Amino acid sequence: MAVQVLIPTPLQKFTNDQASVSVDASSVDALLQALDVCFPGILGRLCDENGKLRRFLNVYVNSEDIRFLDNQTTALTDGDEVSIVPAVAGG
């Protein structure tokens, strides 16, 4: 199941400057692992030592924040788009 992942600028040094990569994964957790297989070291930036996504990172599946879905166990299907976005302030 191919999923398109949008990579934020600070992480593109892991992905050979690619802003978007394609990986096979059936859940957000599986996607994080799959990313680390393709781009070793990226998992350590995305997650803390317990495997939990860092609290200042937002992950969206097809534009929906995964905290409105099933967090890291959110299921993915073929053609889904996942974006990883660091938190920003504003108003």
Partner 1 sequence: MTATLSRSTFIGLRCKECGHAYPAGARHVCEDVCFGPLEVVYDYDAIRSRVSRATIEAGPISIWRYRDFLPIEGDPIDVGTGFTPLLKANRLAQRLGLKSLYIKNDGVNMPTLSFKDRVVSVALTRARELGFTTVSCASTGNLANSTAAIAAYAGLECCVFIPSDLELGKVLGTLVYNPTLMAVKGNYDQVNRLCSEVANTYGWGFVNINLRPYYSEGSKTLGYEVIEQLGWQLPDHIVAPLASGSLFTKIRKGFDEFIKVGLVEEKPVRFSGAQAEGCSPIAQAFAEGRDFIKPVKPNTIAKSIAIGNPADGPYAIDIARRTGGSIAAVTDAEIIDGIKLLAETEGVFTETAGGTTIAVLKKLVQQGKIDPEETTVAYITGNGLKTTEAIAASIGEPFLIEAQLDSFNAAWKRSQSQQQATSGHVA
Closer CB to partner 1, 26 or 83, in the complex: 83
| Tokens matching residue 67 | 């905290």
Shortest Å, Cβ 6 to partner 1? 7
Give whichever of 46 and 76 is closer to partner 1, judged by the CB atom: 46
Q: Which one, 24 or 64, has the nearer CB to partner 1?
A: 64
Give dist(CA 21, CA 37) in Å, integer.
13
Query: Quick check: 11 and 42 in contact, CB under 8 A?
Result: yes
Q: Are 11 and 84 in contact (CB under 8 A)?
A: yes
Q: Where do contacts with partner 1 occur on this chain (CB under 8 A)?
A: 6, 8-11, 19, 45, 48, 54-58, 60, 63, 65, 67-68, 83, 85-91
Per DSSP, 56 falls in state: T
**Could you tell me the smallest distance in angstroms from the CB atom of residue 24 to partner 1?**
23
CB proximity list for 91: less than 8 A, separation 6 or greater: none
The minimum distance between CB 59 and partner 1, in angstroms, equals: 11
